[in-house]
A and B are shown apart, each in its own frame.
Chain A
């Protein structure tokens, strides 16, 4: 009933979006086992795209394809293309370290380096021989991650003394410090309490003005709360992950086109 109305968009969601990443006919195997099959998906620039689906459907595998973290997994093999600013990131001439600088990643469990807060943020710049004012960049990154006020007096103490939520925001700051274009987050809040989770969500919402964010979550409500676009991935009868539906979050959560999506978001899955 909503769809038939021609309504002005509530959110500043342009009807036409500008894709920064285009996933084309992507299939992934780990060894003999196929994980993902024929995924086609666009990641709109400066928007939050949520990838949701049941555990084990391959959504983490999917975002790990976007910065080639899958290269680290022995036996991982892909077919198809991932175009980042229209360049195939799996082309032989691509510099993977530069790709990973431009497409940063935050993991499920906070994984700060066992070093000081400052060093955690600064390291990504140090290894590139950064010549500018390191203090400034560290401060800016921590500000962006809404962590500065909490840590500004203890920058040189161990990052491991921070709470889980703070550690995860530190990991976001660390990723932002190297000035990426895209930030991938693999269930960044699944190990956090609800308050810390909401804090991360607010933060993502804020930085989405300047960064493209892709967040993997098995938490349907979280996908609904923070994202502009939602992609739903589900395994088929051969347990290969397939993209079931993709679109503006407001449409997916009020009027999904696919019965399977409807069952999943209404909790009638399985």
Chain B
């Protein structure tokens, strides 16, 4: 009897704990929506920042975020997947490999500001000639470093989840390791890899600390040119724009910040949705 009572109590406790998380989130969301929704308009999205709050928009920040996202993916995805393939399929089981594995796992837990400092030193200063200093390229390379461990770990997991029997079938037909990985393992693992990559990128898109460290601007009244020069141009991103607006005293800028947060949230949600969709497809294919 007593056991049952205890059980019920714990159940209630766990339930309310769950509620707390959701409640806080809902409150936050309601607050943001209340402030931001009236401000949200097509004009808000397509305008440049301005000193007058009601004329200010997020266009450069949105474009910057999008470019940063694409560039980061371009750098981090091939390297991360290749590293995942190497560690899962090729690396011999020795202390050196285990050392690398341990380090990658640890890197995933390093605070993002540390990556910012690393990016400042390497990409902004040492590689100024290539990156153009405080440019979108430096930002993307820094972000790529930030998400790389996550992509490697999730790639490895996705590759490991491919049944051993499929590899055996490939080898038994006289395929080389590369043929088996390319034609059989990767296609099956790809949705899993993509899921991990998207989740990692959606973390990157919300980051501001490392970008502030490497010196992303807060006020940009132009779009990057439609050429390779764009890579070396200064940039800003949504989180930094939001950060900037929030720190202003005027009420109107607070509304701007809330509206920008809604845009950022929508972006994140759609990316998560894509990840979930891919994961479901992955599961169906294995059945």
Known: A69-B168, A111-B163, A123-B173. 16 other contacts (CB 8 A): A72-B167, A72-B168, A96-B174, A100-B173, A101-B173, A102-B174, A107-B168, A111-B166, A111-B169, A112-B169, A115-B187, A123-B183, A124-B175, A127-B175, A127-B176, A174-B173
Give the 7 A-B residue pairs with the shortest CB-CB distance, closest first. Answer: A101-B174, A111-B165, A100-B174, A105-B172, A124-B173, A97-B174, A111-B169
Which of chain B's residues has its CB closest to A112's CB?
A: B169
Shortest Cβ gap from B108 to chain A (Å): 27
Inter-chain contact B171/A69, CB cutoff 8 Å: yes
Candidate in A98, A114, A115, A160 with the most chain B CB atoms within 10 angstroms: A114
Report the bound CA distance from A109 to B179 in whole Å: 22
A200: Cβ under 8 A from any B Cβ: no
A67: Cβ under 8 A from any B Cβ: yes
Inter-chain contact A109/B93, CB cutoff 8 Å: no
Which of chain B's residues has its CB closest to A128's CB?
A: B174
Q: Which residues 147-194 of B sit at the A interface, judged by CB distance below 8 A?
A: 163, 165-176, 179, 183-184, 187-188
Report the bound CA distance from A201 to B115 in whole Å: 62
Which residues does chain A contribute within 8 Å of B173, judged by CB atoms? 100-101, 104, 123-124, 127, 174-175, 178
Which residues does chain B contribute within 8 Å of A97, judged by CB atoms? 174-176
Which of chain A's residues has its CB closest to B285's CB?
A: A114
Report the bound CA distance from A49 to B165 in whole Å: 24
Q: Which residues 86-121 of A sit at the B interface, judged by CB distance below 8 A?
A: 96-102, 104-105, 107, 109, 111-115
For this complex, into which size category does the number of interface residues on chain B fall? 20 to 34
Please list 7 pairs of residues, one from A and one from B, whose beta carbons are closer than 8 Å in the complex, sorted by A's number.
A69-B171, A72-B168, A96-B174, A101-B173, A113-B170, A127-B174, A127-B183
Candidate in B169, B183, B184 with the most chain A CB atoms within 10 angstroms: B169
Report the bound CA distance from A250 to B286 in whole Å: 43
Inter-chain contact B172/A100, CB cutoff 8 Å: yes
Report the bound CA distance from A97 to B177 in whole Å: 10
Which of chain A's residues has its CB closest to B172's CB?
A: A105
Inter-chain contact B166/A113, CB cutoff 8 Å: yes
Which residues does chain A contribute within 8 Å of B166, judged by CB atoms? 111, 113-114
A171: Cβ under 8 A from any B Cβ: yes
Report the bound CA distance from A97 to B170 in whole Å: 10
Report the bound CA distance from A244 to B280 in whole Å: 51
Shortest Cβ gap from B88 to chain A (Å): 14
- Mark interface residues in A70-81 (1 if CB within 8 Å of B CB, else 0): 001010000000
Which residues does chain A contribute within 8 Å of B188, judged by CB atoms? 114
Which residues does chain A contribute within 8 Å of B93, judged by CB atoms? 74
Shortest Cβ gap from B119 to chain A (Å): 39
